Structure 1
Amino acid sequence: MPKRGKRYRALLEKVDLNKVYSIEEAAALIPQIKSAKFDETVEVHVKLGIDPKKSDQNVRSTVALPHGTGRSVRVLAIAKGEKIAEAQAAGADIAAGEEIIQEILDGRSDFDAVVATPDVMGAVGSKLGRILGPKGLLPNPKAGTVGFNIGEMVREIKAGRIEFRNDKTGVVHGPVGKASFAPEKIAENVRAFIKAVESAKPDGAKGTYLRSIYLTTTMGPSIKVSTSTAHQS
């Protein structure tokens, strides 16, 4: 077991490790387990009953959090013609044509999300796949980041839409707000996230799908959340 610092141990005393909390109870604890000088991110971690080694059981989708993430997202939109202006009008921080591909190859990285229209994906995928792919930034139809409705995609991402996917251990992670959020807003975001994860359940998954749910902050301890309360409104 790793040795915990005095600050962390003090925060841990505020969480009953033998208790399984409702979403509302867990959200109400967030103000008590934050301690960093910065506004910590609130994260939800969901263990799924899937076999991540099987491609037909992998989970990947998006969710529009009702209260956003509390984080400003810099969106890059790559398109052609009038779609560039559409993306810019929708709030894209960078809206450009295929010429920006070379800039990214040269090291440009001042963006947190990338959307693109289908007519530029050939160039984007072949030239930027090795750069954007490992960072999870390569536009993908399944992630809702490829389409001719580029203005809508930009607005949704700026408003708090996030992508989630399971890791190699079958766990889905996602930011669901900031520690400064009111507990009820955190709870509503958590419910929206879990509902989206449930909606993305692969047909090949058997048995219990939601195995465990934990809520935590960037620097704080984890709070175990009841999977049954996730279904309550």
Structure 2
Amino acid sequence: MKRLVVSFPKSGRTWLRYGLHLAGHPNVPFTHDGFEYNDGAKPPLDFDPTRRIVDYKNHDRIIYIERDPRDTIVSLFHQITGRFHDFFGYTGDISSFIRDPYFGVHNLIQFQEMWRGLSAKLPVLIASYEDMSADYTAVFKRVTTHLDLPVSDSVLASIGNRTSFSAMKEVEQAQRFDRPWLQPRMGAPKVRRGKVGNYLDELSASDVTYIENTIVLIKSETES
């Protein structure tokens, strides 16, 4: 069976990926679908849904992870200015970041709208960061069922505690995991806060309004 997990950066893929690793399924492919944001050359961003239907038509099961764009863009800002600072040398503040033509929230929301549309045309299950935060075990069970991956009752019984942010942070800080996607880089941790609604602590009211207006604008463009 051909499986794939798709997400925009900072939407919760490490969280799900670690759970799959613990469950004995470390080789499920994960992709940011061309939006890796780890190349200082800033390759063009592609929003072509037709190409993706062709590219992914032979996949049997796809998971698309989504997160509140307000929290996602805040987390992406910290990644670009922290773990990936050597790639881009970005020095702007968060207000400038969310409006940036390359990193900004406009591209994030376009990506989300594109994948919501694709979910009706491809064998996609949408899993949200917020649902994982509310009940990780329930989401994990839905994901593994959709991917047709066996998970033992004992793993399901413990997966919520083993993938808690405190547990993952401890694993990262103690360097007990050998994959680079759960290790510090450039002195910055991978596991940061994991808080739903974290944007309220970091964005100004005008920043939040800008993001919410952008959501409305792109939704209207998508539906027209």
Q: TM-score, normalising length from structure 1?
A: 0.27
Larger Rg: 1
Indicate the structure with greater strand content.
1
Which structure dedicates a bigger proportion of its chain to helix? Answer: 2
